[in-house]
Structures are given as structure tokens and as C-alpha cells.
A and B are shown apart, each in its own frame.
Chain A
């Protein structure tokens, strides 16, 4: 107990010390490393230090927007990565020596406290997409970005009220454990494992591809090498340290993330004199934001300028345009989080239902606090970097927070800007490691514990064999993750996160809830619910606008071509199109040539929503209910009392509770 506290204190101190220490090598790089800035392709003053030593910055140009690029100082960043790897490896070594039984491997022996688990849940949940993506969305689309983040917190109400405590009381290591209690264990475990592996794979692929691209962009490590590096680390954590190591990686990451977000928010608010109303006034009156908004609304045929456009930034509708899609996404989040296998798994690591409850509440405060901070970061980026400056670096705005860190730090001193950027890069790196480790563990638990131990070996496997199986499957799952990550480099994987939540909400959640709360629930219900929910969500995504439809792309491009040509025709004689327009025209003309069908052979989407939840969740519930009613099972009904008493009281739970 106290030892663990000492470790976490030491690791935080170490990481902070690293910030201070890293100043030294960076001085070296300022001299010798400046050649990297010189050879940087654009060379327009990547960092403030580089700008002073190389060429004069082009910032004093007519346009008020400084087009800068984002390049982390490699030496500092990599030394921060090294510090994080060293700390987490130390935890792994310690955890490995204690990981002897299957309970140690999958559930850290049930020995994680509520507070620790709360931080770990937060660390497991806040992916790089929420860390970088949501503040980026806010910086480009204002209010809608913030609205987008709300569902991620509200989701935990479902986790808290409906699943956390019953799962702690009824389960052991996996989703299959909860579902197989009063059903035929073998088929139910097999289907639960398939569902767990598919949800984890979707989510893992999205994370791996994101990780590779982020590392390539930030530190200049090539995509494949980043994926292999992240993959080797995640396999190392999981194979050797199991749940204990994974938990500590998540706790450390959550601590670093909150520290970074908090520091950056303080810097942003300090600029606004700690006056929130004044902060919002600067948003509304910022000419760059006004210009950005007027361009966005112009696409919808609305003319809006000045303060009106600034105010519009704080109103809904710039990003989330289809209300049904938005509601559908909300449903998938609110119900899907509670069905995510790597989140469910976290409740088996605590000794009691009380600790499970406490951990969700702590996680809710951390996650909620973080999303509130992202508004400061997002709006802060919009003010200080301008939306134009942000999109110049990355169209999706994913780099906004990092650019903000560099600039806010550089306002104090150039070296602090570099350090702060390196620190946040390291946080992003730790974030990816924490999230992927949790996913690999969930997928391997499903294969090793459900399929191998309980289906193939009929539950007859000694501890040694179970742990060995768990390690082997973690290794295989991790290796597959690396291969999929490399193969998916060129794919658009953004919809995979939504798909993971949709499958969890439509397949997993209905069967978990019904098996905990409905007397008549049985094997047929579990299987039909899992199959229909999963297949429906995947099928709907396959025919949705998430896929690429070459003919639709071509039709859109033709409109752009027509619009630009019209603009060209209206130009006074002798004038030519601006560089941007000319580029857009060339690209649109290229796109207009596209022909063919989507992956499943469609010319246009059959289903107009990007998020399938609104249809697939009710389908999942209905299939589960109809399956039960069609094939009633007396035994399942008789066993309901036991399940219900157990999940409410914790009676008959594994020894951890009987002190």
C-alpha cells in the first residue's frame, strides 16, 4: 500500500525532475541540433530558437496569421519518452515478480484500491483522440467541440449506476464470466470472446494508426517504426506485468495528462487575467475566429461577419450538423462505455463493490475535470494560434494543444516552450501506451481465459498453465495489433472508434444488463443479442457514409470544379486564381474522375447516419429479449435468485472479500 504510494510519488517526481533535467541536453542540441532545424523542409522558423539562429521569421507579413509548423525538439522529447519508459518498465519488473496466478494476471489479484482504480479507469479511457482531438475540435468549431465531449463523461453514469458494482460482485476476469453464470457456459463464453476481441480490435487499430501518425508528425519517427516501438512496449507491459503493470501505466499516464492539461490551462487563463468572461470576450472579438466562422457558414449560404460571426463560434451547429447522427452517437457512448470490455475488466481489479463504486466516482471527476479543461485549451488555441494557423499544420486540429503548449511556454522562454511541447508529446505517447495495453489485455483475457481455459480445457488448467496461456495470447494479440497497425496505415480509421462503441452498446451492453437484471434471461438470449447487436452495427457502418463512395466523391468534386470555374470566369481579365483556389481546382478535377463502388459494392450509402447506434442498440435489445422468449430455460430462471442476490450483496464472492 504505502510502497505503491511511494512508487507513484517517485514516478511523478521523476517525471517532473526530467522536465528540469532535460534542459541540459537541450542546450547541447541548441548548438549541434540546430542543423535539424536548418534541414527542416519548410525552414520557416520551426521553433523560436531556430528562428533566431536561422532566418528572420516571416511573421511580420501582411496576413495576421503566422503559419508555423510544429516540430518537437527531438533530443528533449526522446529523453522524456525514455524517462516514461524507464519508470513504467520499473513497474513492470516489480509487477512481473508478483504475477503468479491468473487472478494476478487479469485482475492484479483484486488488490487495486478504489482510488488507484479510479485513476486507472481515467487513464484507460482518455485516449489520444480525446486528449488531442477534442481540444482541436473546440479550437476549430467552438461550441460543438465542447458538446461532443459531454457524452464521454455522462457515459459513466451508466457505468456507475448499472454495471460497476454488480460486475464486481458477479464476475471474475472477463465479460464471459458475467454472462456464463446461469447460461450454457461454452457457447456463451465463445460468443462473448468473439465480441470482446472484435471490439478491442476496432479500438486498438484506431489507436495504433493514430499512434503511428502522431509519432511521425511530432518526432519524425517513421510510421512503421513508431508502430513497432509502441507495439513492443505494450506487449512487454502486458506479457510480463499483466494487469498490475497495465494499471500502473494507466495511473502514471492519467497523472501526467492531468498535470499537463492543468498547467497549460493555467497559462491560458493567466493570459486572460483569470477573467473567464474576458476570455470569452476575446473569442468573440477575435478577427481571425470571426473570419474562420464566416467562411464556414458561407458554405451554408449564410453571410455573417464581425461580432456576429464571433458569437456564432459559441453556438451549436458548426460541426455536428445532423441531429439524428448526434443522438445516435450519444446513445452509443452512454451505453457503449459500460459495455467496453477493457472498462468492464477494470472492475475485477478491486476487492469490493464499494471500491468499484468509489473508483467510478473518482474517474468521473478526473475525466469531467479534464474535459472542462479542454475547453480552455481549445478556445485558448483558437485565440492564440488562430484557427487558420491550426489548420495550416493539421486539418483536423489535432495539433492545436501541442502548438499551444509550445507557444505558451515560448512566451516565457523559448526553451520552456520546447520543454513543454516535449512534455505533452511524452504525455501523448504515454496515453497511447496506456490505452493499447488495456485493450491487448482485454482481448487476450477473452481468448486465454474464456476460449482456452474454459472452452477448450473445460476449466481444468492449473494456475501455471493459465498464466502461461495468458502470456502467450497477449503476445499473439499484441503482434497482431502491430501487423494490423502497419497494414492500416493508409486507411481512414476514424470510424473504428465509433464502431467499437456501437458494437459494445448494441452487442455487449444489452446482454450484460439483461443477465444481471432479468429473471427470464438465458443462453439463447445472450447469443442472439450478441450476434444481432454486433452484426447490425458492423453492417450499418459498412453501408453508411463512413465508407468511401467514389461516385459521391466525384459528384462533390464536380460541384467544386464548377464553383471555382465560375469564380475564375468572374475574375477581371488578366487576373489569375489565388494559389489556394488553383490547388483546390486541380485536386477537385482529379477527384471528379473517380469511379467505382464502395467496399461492399455500393454507389452511395444506404444508411445516412455515420453512427449506427440509434438502430442497432434497439435491435440488440430486441434480439436478446426475443431469443429468450423463444427458447425459455427453466434452469436460467431458477438461477436468477442466486445471480441477483450475489450481485447485490457480494455473497459467495471470491475470497478477497472474506478478510
Chain B
């Protein structure tokens, strides 16, 4: 292991790392909780509010179908949004932090 030795606890206290860590945690767990909540509305809704799922939207297509389909687009949306934020903010902060450490 010809790795450089790092002082891990010093890095953990580095303001750049603290900023990265706060931003990341808030984003990741926030969106994760949102996506889970959104997903579980599907089985819960289908079981306990079937009346709403039955409401027709477009011809025979009902709320339930549109909602199930929306799960796909919401998941994709979250994924794209995350990749946008991660590529822009998280990766930049990480790079700056690494550059600072390697100086």
C-alpha cells in the first residue's frame, strides 16, 4: 500500500468537508425519504383508497394507472436531478478539498 497517509480526523473537521458532508446528507436522505414516501403511496393508496384510483382521467385510463406510471418518471427525475447536483456541487467540493489536501 503505497498510499499517502492522511490525517482523517483533520479532514473530517476541514470546513470544506463539513460543507460537503452537510449538503450531501441533507440532499441524499431528504430525497430518499421523499422517494420512499411517494412509492409507498402506491400500494397504500391502491389498498385503502381504491375509489380515487378508479377515477378516469383520459378515456379508460384512470388515476391509478397514471400514478403508477408517474412513479417511473419521478424516479427518473430524482436520478437526473441528483446527478445534476452531484456533478455540479458535490464533485466540485470534493475536487477542491482533494486539491487543498494535496498541496
Contacts and interface: CB of A to CB of B under 8 A. Distances in A.
Interface of A: 143, 146-147, 150-151, 153-154, 156-158, 160-162, 276-277, 280-281, 283-284, 310-311, 314-317, 320, 323, 326-327, 330, 334, 354, 357-358, 360-361, 364-365, 368, 371-372, 639, 641-642, 644-646, 648-652
Contacts of A154: 35-36, 39, 71, 75
Contacts of A314: 60-62, 64-65
A646 B3 CA distance: 13
B28 A645 contact: no
A161 B82 contact: yes
Interface residues of B, number: 53
Q: Interface of chain B, helix or strand or loop or mixed? A: helix
Interface string B12-27: 1000010011001000
A648 B6 contact: no
B19 to A, nearest CB: 11
B24 A371 contact: no
A578 to B, nearest CB: 32
Nearest to A330: B43
B7 to A, nearest CB: 9
A8 B83 CA distance: 26
A323 B48 contact: yes
A146 B68 contact: yes
With most chain A CB atoms within 10 A of its CB, the pick from B6, B35, B75 is B75
Contacts of B80: 361
B39 A151 contact: yes
Interface string B36-60: 1001101110111010011000111
A124 B3 CA distance: 33
A315 B28 contact: no
Contact of A315 (B36, B42, B64): B64
B15 to A, nearest CB: 14
Nearest to A165: B86
Contact of A651 (B21, B65, B68, B98): B98
Given A150-B68, A154-B71, A161-B28, A327 B43 contact: yes
Contacts of A317: 46-47, 50
A644 B47 contact: no
A419 B78 CA distance: 40
B59 A281 contact: yes
A641 B9 contact: yes
Contacts of B20: 648-649
Given A153-B75, A357-B86, A651-B11, 4 more contacts: A317-B46, A323-B47, A357-B82, A372-B72
Contacts of A156: 75, 79
Contact of B61 (A280, A354, A361, A645): A280
A281 to B, nearest CB: 6
B51 to A, nearest CB: 10
Contacts of B64: 143, 147, 314-316
B82 A160 contact: yes
B75 A277 contact: no
B62 A645 contact: no
A543 B31 CA distance: 36
26 contacts: A143-B64, A143-B65, A146-B68, A147-B43, A147-B46, A150-B39, A153-B71, A157-B32, A157-B35, A157-B36, A161-B28, A276-B61, A283-B60, A311-B60, A314-B60, A314-B61, A316-B53, A327-B40, A334-B39, A360-B79, A639-B8, A644-B12, A644-B21, A648-B17, A648-B21, A648-B94
B91 A354 contact: yes
A276 B24 CA distance: 41
